[in-house]
Amino acid sequence: MTEAKKAIVSETAETPEVGRPAAPAVKWDDSQMKTAYANVVNASSTREEVTLFFGTNQTWNPTAATEFEVKLSDRIVLSPFAAKRLWLLMGAVLQEHEKRFGALDLGAATTPAAAADTGNGAEKK
């Protein structure tokens, strides 16, 4: 079980307050789960939803490229509440990763504008 899954499961396993019923345990059914790889991610949002776009950079020689080609493969649409839970969960997972393996340096592409300028953002057509 991954650290992220352990964190979620441990939330449901905590002792409830007196007079409050225990939260039901979560049973993770991964029988239909699929795996996809992405080295590029972008996001957009409206009031009602947050959309994540995943893909892979298809440019093999980035130093000689004048533009980057990103092949988008997956789109995940979340409610804002689910997106915030994902944000908190990803923060905890990455904090644990950096504790074990060292800090991740994103260089100049730390803002959405910088990511778009370097070709790491997804363009919608």
Q: Give domain status of residue 2, yes or no.
A: no
pLDDT in tens, 24-69: 999 999 999 999 999 999 999 999 999 999 999 988 887 787 888 8
Residue 11 is assigned to a structural domain of this protein? no
Q: 114: which residues sit within 8 A by CB, 6+ positions away?
A: 108
**Residue 26 resides in a domain:** no
* Contact indicator for 44, 104 with CB cutoff of 8 Å: no
Average pLDDT over residues 96-113: 81
Give the domain range for residue 118.
Answer: 35-125
Residue 10 lies in a domain: no
Number of domains in the chain: 1
SS3 label, residue 5 = helix
Instruction: Tell me, yes or no, whether 68 lies in a domain.
Output: yes
Report yes or no on 19 lying in a domain: no
Q: Is 17 contained in some domain?
A: no
CA 57 to CA 120: how far, in whole Å? 8
Instruction: Give residue 120's pLDDT band: very low, low, confident or very high (50, 70, 90).
Output: very low
**Residue 74 domain flag:** yes
